Structure 1
Amino acid sequence: MQRNVLHVVSVSFSLPYFVGEQFLYFKKNNSEYNFFVACSPSENLTKLSNSLEFKKIPLIINRSISPIQDIKSIFKLRKIILENKIDVVIGHTPKGGMIAMIASYLARIQNRVYFRHGIMFETSTGFKRFLLKNIERITGSLANKVVCVSNEIKLISEKEKLNSKTKNIILGRGTCNGVDCYGKYNRNNKEQLFSDLRKKNGINEKDFVIGYVGRLVKDKGINDLIEAWELIIKKYSNVKLLLVGPFEDRDKVNDLVHNKIIEYDSIIHTDYVEDTSNYYYIMDAFILPSYREGFPTVVLEASSMELPILTTRATGCSESIIENVTGIFFDIEKNKIADAISSIIENPIHAKKMGIKGREFVISNFEQKEIWDIIEKEILTA
């Protein structure tokens, strides 16, 4: 029996993290699936629709609060759902989730699923916090199922009464999509890239590379990381900080930090990279100094590439490593961050062991095909 599944996201750049190649996997195993993605229009959406084999539905979804446009998008999406005889609607992120759940509720779709990738109001205050929390409550109340990407997200959802406890589910140990441990994030598959990519980015043979992948924003701790990095370059000569990701206007880093990232010889900034997987191979350790996460996929990817992890105890991050086995926790303060980086630089044998253990940890708990099988059982056919 044909089954039409619609995913709703705000921006197409999140699709590789939220769904990856699962559409291809499901269609290979069951030719009756048809996948649709409603998303703000872009060239990248068109490109992904061809490579991942889904029908694109251009729909303006503003990430900021836009009441008039949001209402237009809700009713347009309701019409799209009915015209395409959608069976399952899956919403991602607060805005995409809210529009998806309201539209699918109005269209009387029985299988309405919201992926709670994080808690945005965690680092907000005042009216903004009130607004974001109530958006989560509206979305959660209209969903039939809420996928919490970590146990901590589930606990916060219950504590803040964002929806009925009975709706909350977790995929395995946590995550939204898992990691391709044997293909894309397998160190053994990327050896030929090592020398060329290091040379292209001005990394010397003796350089120790601390890497980061993600948006360069305050919530990710980038301001704090650069302050810590200034302590590191006073202490060590052959070190590089590799930042893979774009600056953003929302929650942007301060101007001083922005300029230091551009100007410092010891900092390599790639800007936006379509496929970040190759860059893990030229790192010696991975750092995520985040203030909040849902469940950091980048940490799992780095661990799968046998990198020791440095991260915080923020929501989500605390579940992404095993302390002192696959990585190290630190408090978000420049001296604490610098101490964690120093401990990795000065203990290379232990760091290598953590990387090996990290890959074992990810394979055992987050291998993507096992997560996809749970998604099919719990969401697509339930």
Structure 2
Amino acid sequence: MKGKKVLHIVSVSFSLRYFVGNQFHYFKERGHEFHVACSGSPDFIALSHEFAFKPFPVPILRSIHPVQDLKSIYKLYQYIRREQFDIVIAHSPKGGLIGILAAYLARTPKRIFFRHGLVFETAVGLKKQLLINIERLIGFCATYIVHVSPSIISVSDRLHLNASSKNILLGKGTCNGIDITKFKPRSGYKDTNVITIGFVGRLCKDKGLIELVDAWQLLCNDYKSIRLLLIGPMDDRDPLPPSTLHQLHDDPTIEYRGGVDDTSLYYNKMDIFVLPSYREGFPTVTLEASASGVPVVTTRVTGCVDSIVEHVTGIFAENTAVSLYTALKYYIDNLEVAHVHGANGQQFVKNNFSEDFIYRQIEDKII
């Protein structure tokens, strides 16, 4: 089969490792050529060397900026026309808006939008309607929409974001699979004198950090040998209130490590993983935790609902401090059940979300 010429479009280079990652190596070995359009940065150039793609710097602002957005669409349109790509793949609402419009104007035969999440789910009023209409415009101009979870498809169909005939789902969901050689159980990392509950992700209101910290205060009234391990950067676009920040920094039972380059070993320190999010596309962190043999507590919201098997690999909680407290307390009081759910989670990811499995799905359905 002749190799394809593929352009990926993302708004920030940071997301490339998670949205595409080892796909670059996998498909390059099969003869395909990759380019990436993204806002320019030193990290973008460094990633182009690491993953052997051809970089094309173009401003893709995360906020709406009509003049710059039109300039970026035109610049990208010229690049697509010049390079004559077989496939253009765009990620995130803004990358999708800029990239899919440019590819549509350039008449690229295959225009694929990865719907990683639904930002409008936590928006209100005119902003929410604007975001929905942007999704509809992208859905109209794309030839196919890859939804990263079944629940994203349900919302998309209900709101008519695109024709259902354009829907693609990779296996049971996700966009890039899990490297099960990297995320796996390892012994020797846990502190056996303390039960560690872990969180990985942006620290912000959308991720449920306010409720998690409130639940933690309730747990600390019941248990002495527990620790909350928080991994991830602060999100200035959705900042936590001062009271929550003070608790994070002042509570000796909370260990905040900030953003880290490699999260894999941190999962091995955890007894329980928690993601109390208000919205997700498909939370990779829950799969990483499961692959590492850690039971999961998460919320019954879009994306998260697809990421565990209830009472098999994890349990659901509501977006309240009391519900999170109850779910986490259950695992603390029943560590044998937690261990079984963690082991089940490892098999769940291996069977359904390994990189090799998802890449074969991409090969069959996209490339």
TM range (shorter): over 0.9
AA partner of residue 118 (structure 1): G
SS of 1:337's equivalent? helix
Stretches of structure 2 that go unaligned for 5 or more consecutive residues are none
2:303 maps to 1:316: yes
Deviation at 1:323, TM superposition (A): 0.8
Counterpart contact for 2:84–2:108, Cα < 8 Å: no
Question: Corresponding residue for 1:278?
Answer: 265
Q: CA RMSD in A?
A: 1.2
Relative to the length of structure 1, the TM-score reads: 0.93
Counterparts of 1:203-352 in structure 2 under 5 Å? 204-352=191-339
Deviation at 1:259, TM superposition (A): 2.2
AA partner of residue 377 (structure 1): D
AA partner of residue 61 (structure 2): N
SS of 2:8's equivalent? strand
Question: Corresponding residue for 1:186?
Answer: 184
Identity %: 47
CA distance in 2, matches of 1:246, 1:355: 26
SS of 2:206's equivalent? helix
1:33-66 C-alpha deviation (Å, 9 max, x unpaired): 1111111222222222111111122121111111
Question: Corresponding residue for 1:15?
Answer: 16
Question: Corresponding residue for 2:77?
Answer: 78
Counterparts of 1:148-163 in structure 2 under 5 Å? 148-163=147-162
Question: Corresponding residue for 2:92?
Answer: 93
CA distance in 1, matches of 2:106, 2:300: 41
Stretches of structure 1 that go unaligned for 5 or more consecutive residues are 199-203
Deviation at 1:155, TM superposition (A): 1.0
Question: Corresponding residue for 1:201?
Answer: none
Counterparts of 1:75-154 in structure 2 under 5 Å? 75-154=74-153
SS of 2:302's equivalent? coil
CA distance in 1, matches of 2:23, 2:58: 22
Deviation at 1:2, TM superposition (A): 4.2
2:22 maps to 1:24: no
AA partner of residue 334 (structure 1): A
1:272-324 C-alpha deviation (Å, 9 max, x unpaired): 11221121111111100001111111111110100000001001111111111
Relative to the length of structure 2, the TM-score reads: 0.97
CA distance in 1, matches of 2:43, 2:60: 15
CA distance in 2, matches of 1:275, 1:40: 23
1:124-157 C-alpha deviation (Å, 9 max, x unpaired): 1101101100010000100000001111111111
Aligned length: 366
CA distance in 1, matches of 2:33, 2:138: 25
CA distance in 1, matches of 2:277, 2:250: 23
Q: Which runs of 4+ in 1 moved over 3 A?
A: none
SS of 1:279's equivalent? helix
Counterparts of 1:167-182 in structure 2 under 5 Å? 167-181=166-180
SS of 2:162's equivalent? coil
CA distance in 2, matches of 1:148, 1:328: 24
